[in-house]
Structure 1
Amino acid sequence: MRRVLLLTMLGFAAFASAADTKLEQGKNDHRLVRVPAGEYALGSAEHRFNKPHRFKTDGFLISDAETTNAEFAAFVKATSYVTTAEKTGWSLSGGEGSAEWEWKRVDGANWRLPFGPDGPAAEKLPDHPVTQISGEDARAYCRWVGGRLPTIDEWETAARAGAGTPYPWGAEFSAKACNVWNGETHLKNTREDGFVLTAPVRSFPPNAWGLHDVIGNVFEYCEGHAPWMESNITETRICGRGGSWWCSENSCHFYNLLDIGSMAKGASLPNQGFRVVFDLPAKPAPDSPVK
């Protein structure tokens, strides 16, 4: 059976180059993976919306892990930034014991207390991904470190790391390879992957290019619009990819390399986070003097 994507020779060359790249040090303790310039095959003929297409890039740097509570705390300390949920005074939250697709209003829930005053505090979990931030909060952080959110296609390119399968590790799902919801319903988590809520970043093996948690842990904000989004909603929603600790086979099953989700731009959830992309310096024109 013909399976998901086949990489072109150009794609294989880019994969080999990226696989040999060492992590680079970025601002605010970000570890960066260099994605080389090239043309990449994305999407799948078997997917309803993310059809086969090609993505050409001049290359970019992307953080190897999702932005953590400690990294976001450094940003807030330096800028006195106040998140959307903090301004509102409440946010949506949920976890074990919830019904499928159930998020409840929780007063006092924000990035510092993702599950509300009765839940774990972010300062006690410095290496967990920051959550309960809106798309605009994520963009503000990215600007502070001199970066930006990845586009939908940049995310897929980096997350695939040359893979032509639904998961970075192969064609079959593995509960030991990522942090998603384990259990038939959200009433009980069987804890196969060792976690119920978020996990510390880099808890699971990276993909072939060194990126951790491209599947599971938290949804990752991306710029751009999913193919299925009608033009009248693109200004009010922001996309997310990769799935999260809350995703399960019987509810939000977007924990793969193909699906593209979305949420309201001003909303905040305890399973939504991001990683940062940095543009490479522009190369001088051939006839330009080198300074």
Structure 2
Amino acid sequence: MRTVRLLLLFSYFATLAGAAEMGRGENDHRLVRVAAGEYALGAADHRFNKAHRFKTDGFLISDTETTNGQFAAFVKATGYQTRAERTGWSLSGGEGSAEWEWKRVDGANWRLPFGPDGPAAEKLPDHPVTQISGEDARAYCRWIGGRLPTIDEWETAARAGATTPYPWDAEFSVKACNIWNGASHLKNTREDGHVLTAPVRSFPPNAWGLHDVIGNVFEYCEGHAPWMESSIVETRICGRGGSWWCSANSCHFYNLLDIGSMAKGASLPNQGFRVVFDLPAKDASTGK
């Protein structure tokens, strides 16, 4: 698939909050257009993501994380095997785990994110695909003619003009996203209605129409965080937005500011991605 073909198929059908337009792309992706401009990101009081400006010529970004169904179409068309499939195992965990506990599970991969005894991806086609490495995500993006967002593109789209830590407000809302509910990972209190991943679009979108920018799965991004030393930049890939596994007592990155990272070759059941597409030169220059 080629970007040019996707953009020719792209048809705008809505304008959200007077800011972003939406349309359809290849493989059933719904795309939000982020307008060219300069955007305020970060925060003055954030230790690792200081206030800064980001200038863009504009881009298209999928309104949800890439789903199991979409990734299955990629595998069917290409025969691609993920790193976890090639190695025969991956790390996994869930309810009943200790904090920060991920265990080796033989047979865990994108088809069976929690191993042979867990739910199968084919029965959850509208859930975000997980158990893929950064390179696996990049392979999908190349196939469809897109790429991963940069950390600043992600934040621009996720904020949708918001200046608060969350796209909906300054205060966290347990009903607005899918994270871990409970004092520990021994028990999930299910306040948001989910224990593991949730179907995409289960929660209200941000002002520009993007769903799950907070929670559900961490989203791979290109580039490196300011706090990352040069010695580790080449071995790690960044992730943003937090996930179903994140909680106030463990990984608290479910906000618009924090930037996490993981080994490029690693796979986890709380790691996913969404796709960005560059605009044609004439669209970028004219804003149309």
TM-score by length of 1: 0.91
Unaligned runs of at least 5 residues, structure 2 = 1-14
Q: Alpha carbon RMSD of aligned pairs, Å?
A: 1.4
Alignment of 1:125 onto 2:124 = yes
**Structural mapping, 1:6-155, within 5 Å:** 19-155=18-154
Alignment of 1:276 onto 2:252 = no
Tell me the SS of whatever aligns to 2:281. Answer: coil
Residues of 1 paired with 2:284 and 2:258: CA distance?
38
Alignment of 1:264 onto 2:258 = no
Residues of 2 paired with 1:285 and 1:26: CA distance?
18
1:65 deviates by: 0.3
Amino acid at match of 2:131: Q
Unaligned runs of at least 5 residues, structure 1 = 1-15, 287-291
Residues of 2 paired with 1:45 and 1:195: CA distance?
34
Residues of 1 paired with 2:89 and 2:233: CA distance?
25
Alignment of 1:210 onto 2:209 = yes
Aligned length: 271
Residues of 2 paired with 1:70 and 1:249: CA distance?
31
Residues 158-215 of structure 1 show CA distances to partners (whole Å, capped at 9, x for unaligned) of 0000000000000000000000000000000000000000000000000000000000
Amino acid at match of 2:210: L
Residues of 2 paired with 1:225 and 1:68: CA distance?
25
- Tell me the equivalent position of 1:250: 249
Residues of 1 paired with 2:68 and 2:127: CA distance?
6
Residues of 1 paired with 2:254 and 2:145: CA distance?
29
Contact preservation (8 Å) 2:20, 2:35: no
Tell me the SS of whatever aligns to 1:23. Answer: strand
Amino acid at match of 1:277: V
1:23 deviates by: 1.6
Tell me the percent identity.
87
- Tell me the equivalent position of 1:11: none
Amino acid at match of 1:253: H
TM-score by length of 2: 0.92
Residues of 2 paired with 1:29 and 1:241: CA distance?
23
Contact preservation (8 Å) 1:95, 1:246: yes
- Tell me the equivalent position of 1:3: none
Amino acid at match of 1:252: C
Contact preservation (8 Å) 2:16, 2:208: no
Residues of 2 paired with 1:82 and 1:65: CA distance?
23
Q: Which runs of 4+ in 1 moved over 2 A?
A: 16-22
